[in-house]
């Protein structure tokens, strides 16, 4: 059920039906002409555009955008800047600037490019055009930008060639830079680029090229290649970083033994040494190589990265070494150590070591968090959950003004003519650029219109983290309650899963093919439909919200049955698959919190915590915004042994 929610244009019979209903119910004069004009403009069929019919339409700028874009690069920068100014409150302005930079750059009209640019653009190709344009007027900035674009381990667009050639001719990119990039490419498995860059190096780098060829055949030869690579040994650091990167992933234990032998003799910079040791410590902990642990503990104070320290704490927790866990928690940076997760584990450690006073204090600090460990801490000290719920209210007069805002009018018009993707772009551009008061008014509008997915995305874009009623709307509530009752599944768990999976976008589709509110794979939907004795919905029918919820509820019911009614394990299985969860339980710690922390996949570990904390929020909102009587986990879920005994079928 893994996902990557995204707004997508409607497809299939479901979307077509919805579009038909929308158009018939809300169409306004000029909409039909605008829909035809926009289609014609995309195809450059200007004779089909009814200029008189669309002249005063709120979306006229979208047709103008295509007209001006198609005139690039011949159009003058003044025309582009005029368009940008007139549409500065719309994504059209940014799109036009980007199109102009790209087209002017391709045509070599660098003066025009700089006239329309507003600092470094987004996108590698446009950045290459931009810094090429700066060569004449600001060579230092061109060199700095070009070197940044050069230092990557994959091929860059041909738009970068002129910039790179100029910098190489001027000595801004020298043979060491070529070698450094070659090593980055080797580390990323870009063998074609490695060969291409290798041919650009002179005889002084022959020993380095030979070392790369040898190490590509066998990483174990890292103890036998020269330690001084290139002039003044400057190439040694990049070579050993790239080689150790591959060696550590291939055989972490052997890589450790090799590193012990060569580390004292390597003439490399501290940044390169740190990169190797951080990588080595990380994979030693991820793969639980006990033989490497003493070295990891010795190296950690100088490595000091949060991701490795957190792994070391998890290792201590897995061994129930509470003193060790406390020690490493104290080594975290202040901002990480203050997170509810680590305050919770600090409290647990003090509790296990018999220091009740310190445990209470740490639990209290953890309980301030509105997340899994914050709620777990609150349960430990019998305190209500900290929701920090923020509410906003607007009077009817102000709401009437918001209804007339241009961005609202354009979004509504785009939806009326079936341009869902453009409507989302228009709306989220407004949310990203609005003032705090304005973005709350936009969220209120989305809530009033029942735009659940757009509402959630608005709160994410504007970081309205405390606006819980907007972040967790009552979307499809009746379906969740109905199918929760029918399947015997906690409806708030279903809501939490859907919110995490799709952010309430009923047409969300992941790269893996999962679909809909609860991100069902078509094959899973087929099996569940067969199980229920209903028709296979196919890849588009599964997007129907009620059917998606029904099938997802059935799957969760099967998972909760598999784990003796345990929602925590069921949520983990929904994300990672029951086979993996079965294995984790057989090797698991016994307590619920240790089980969650021991989940080896970060995605699933975060997923379980999010879903269970989301269900608390949904239930609390249904309770008028109060967490009184709400519990994240049942008493059984908090006290049961999380091991193989949880499996209904051993």
What digits encode the pLDDT tens for the residues 583-633? Answer: 999 987 889 999 999 999 999 999 999 999 999 999 999 999 999 999 999
Token digits for 440? 């709350």
Considering only CA atoms, which of 601, 557, 578 is closest in space to residue 649?
Answer: 578
Regarding pTM above 0.85, the answer is yes
Considering only CA atoms, which of 567, 584, 592 is closest in space to residue 348?
Answer: 592
What are the percentages of helix, strand and coil residues in the chain, rounded to 5?
A: 70, 0, 30
Considering only CA atoms, which of 331, 330, 324, 326 is closest in space to residue 302?
Answer: 331
Token digits for 649? 């079928």
Do the Cβ atoms of 104 and 116 come closer than 8 Å?
Answer: yes
What is the pLDDT at residue 26?
66
Do the Cβ atoms of 363 and 377 come closer than 8 Å?
Answer: yes
Rounded CA separation 132/145 (Å): 9
Query: Where residue 29 falls among pLDDT bands split at 50, 70, 90?
Result: confident
For 520, the 3-state DSSP assignment is strand
- For the chain, what is the mean pLDDT? 94
> What is the per-residue burial (b if ≥16 Cβ within 10 Å, else e) of 372-385?
bbbbbbbbbeeeeb
Find the mean pLDDT for residues 50-70: 96
Supply φ then ψ for residue 431, to 5 degrees: -65, -35
pLDDT at 19 over 80: no
Model confidence pLDDT, tens digit, residues 158-185: 999 999 999 999 999 999 999 999 999 9
What is the pLDDT at residue 15?
39
Find the mean pLDDT for residues 44-69: 96
Catalytic residue (one of 426, 469, 501, 619): 501
Q: What is the DSSP letter of 509?
A: B
Token digits for 275? 């990169």
Rounded CA separation 77/85 (Å): 12
Model confidence pLDDT, tens digit, residues 252-288: 999 999 999 999 999 999 999 999 999 999 999 999 9
Considering only CA atoms, which of 402, 404, 423, 409 is closest in space to residue 30?
Answer: 409
CB count within 10 Å of CB 587 equals 11
What is the pLDDT at residue 588?
79
Considering only CA atoms, which of 142, 139, 133, 95 is closest in space to residue 114?
Answer: 133
Do the Cβ atoms of 105 and 130 come closer than 8 Å?
Answer: yes
For 515, the 3-state DSSP assignment is strand
> What is the per-residue DSSP string for 190-207?
-HHHHHHHHTT--GGGHH
Rounded CA separation 501/508 (Å): 9
Do the Cβ atoms of 490 and 484 come closer than 8 Å?
Answer: yes
pLDDT at 9 over 60: no
What is the pLDDT at residue 302?
94
396-471: in CATH 1.10.1240.20: yes
pLDDT at 581 over 80: yes
What is the pLDDT at residue 649?
66
Percent pLDDT > 90 in the chain is 94
Model confidence pLDDT, tens digit, residues 425-452: 999 999 999 999 999 999 999 999 999 9
Q: What is the DSSP letter of 392?
A: -
Rounded CA separation 564/567 (Å): 9
Outline where 89-204 has alpha helix (H).
Answer: 91-107, 110-116, 124-133, 139-150, 161-169, 175-187, 191-198
What is the pLDDT at residue 23?
41
Rounded CA separation 22/53 (Å): 21
Query: Where residue 321 falls among pLDDT bands split at 50, 70, 90?
Result: very high
What is the pLDDT at residue 1?
52
> H or E segment at 173?
none
Q: Under CATH, which number does the domain 477-646 receive?
A: 1.10.530.10
Question: Is residue 64 flagged as an active site residue?
Answer: no
Between vectors from CA 19 to CA 460 and to CA 14, what angle results, nearest 5°?
Answer: 85
């Amino acid at each position: 059920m893994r996902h990557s929610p995204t707004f997508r244009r409607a497809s299939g019979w479901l979307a077509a039906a919805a579009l038909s209903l929308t158009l018939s119910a809300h169409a306004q004069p000029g909409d039909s002409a605008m829909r035809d004009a926009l289609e014609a403009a995309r195809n450059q069929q200007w004779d089909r555009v009814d200029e008189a019919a669309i002249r005063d339409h709120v979306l006229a700028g979208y047709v103008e955008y295509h007209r001006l874009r198609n005139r690039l690069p011949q159009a003058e920068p003044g025309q582009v800047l005029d368009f940008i100014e007139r549409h500065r409150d719309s994504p059209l302005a940014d799109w036009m600037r980007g199109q102009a930079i790209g087209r002017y750059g391709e045509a070599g009209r660098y003066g025009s490019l700089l006239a329309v640019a507003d600092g470094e653009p987004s996108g590698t190709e446009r950045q290459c055009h931009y810094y090429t344009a700066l060569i004449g007027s600001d060579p230092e900035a061109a060199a700095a930008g070009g070197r940044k674009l050069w230092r990557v381990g994959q091929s860059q667009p041909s738009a970068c060639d002129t910039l790179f050639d100029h910098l190489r001719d001027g000595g801004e990119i020298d043979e060491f830079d070529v070698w450094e990039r070659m090593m980055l490419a080797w580390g990323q498995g870009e063998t074609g680029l490695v060969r291409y860059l290798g041919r650009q190096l002179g005889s002084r780098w022959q020993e380095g090229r030979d070392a790369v060829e040898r190490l590509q055949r066998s990483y174990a030869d890292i103890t036998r290649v020269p330690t001084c690579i290139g002039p003044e040994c400057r190439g040694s650091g990049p070579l050993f970083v790239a080689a150790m990167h591959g060696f550590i992933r291939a055989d972490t234990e052997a890589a450790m033994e090799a590193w012990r032998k060569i580390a004292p003799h390597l003439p490399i910079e501290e940044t390169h040494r740190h990169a190797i040791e951080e990588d080595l410590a990380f994979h030693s902990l991820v793969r639980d190589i006990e033989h490497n642990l003493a070295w990891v503990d010795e190296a950690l104070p100088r490595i000091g990265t949060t991701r490795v320290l957190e792994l070391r704490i998890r290792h201590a927790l897995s061994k129930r070494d509470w003193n060790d866990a406390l020690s490493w928690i104290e080594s975290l940076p202040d901002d990480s150590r203050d997170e509810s997760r680590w305050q919770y584990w600090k409290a647990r450690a003090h509790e296990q070591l018999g220091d009740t006073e310190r445990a209470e204090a740490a639990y209290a600090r953890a309980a301030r968090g509105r997340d899994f460990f914050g709620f777990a801490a609150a349960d430990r000290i019998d305190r209500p959950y900290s929701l920090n719920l923020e509410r906003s209210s607007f009077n009817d007069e102000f709401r009437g003004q918001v209804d007339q805002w241009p961005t609202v009018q354009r979004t509504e018009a785009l939806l009326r003519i079936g341009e869902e993707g453009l409507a989302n772009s228009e709306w989220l551009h407004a949310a990203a650029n609005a003032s705090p008061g304005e973005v709350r008014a936009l969220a209120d509008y989305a809530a009033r219109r029942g735009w659940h997915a757009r509402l959630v995305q608005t709160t994410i874009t504007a970081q309205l983290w405390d606006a819980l009623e907007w972040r967790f709307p009552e979307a499809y509530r009746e379906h969740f309650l109905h199918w929760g009752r029918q399947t015997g599944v906690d409806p708030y768990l279903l809501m939490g899963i859907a919110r995490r999976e799709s952010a309430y976008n009923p047409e969300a589709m992941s790269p893996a093919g999962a679909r809909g509110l609860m991100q069902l794979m078509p094959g899973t939907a087929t099996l569940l439909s067969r199980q229920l004795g209903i028709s296979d919905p196919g890849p588009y029918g599964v997007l129907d919200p009620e059917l998606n919820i029904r099938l997802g509820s059935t799957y969760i019911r099967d998972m909760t049955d598999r784990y003796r009614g345990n929602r925590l394990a069921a949520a983990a299985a929904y994300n990672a698959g029951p086979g993996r969860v079965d294995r984790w339980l057989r090797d698991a710690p016994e307590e619920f919190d240790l089980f969650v922390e021991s989940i080896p996949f970060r995605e699933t570990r975060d997923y379980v915590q999010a879903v269970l904390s989301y269900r608390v929020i949904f239930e609390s909102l249904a309770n008028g915004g109060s967490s009184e009587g709400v519990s994240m986990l049942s008493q059984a879920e908090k006290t049961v042994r999380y091991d193989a005994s949880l499996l209904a079928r051993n």
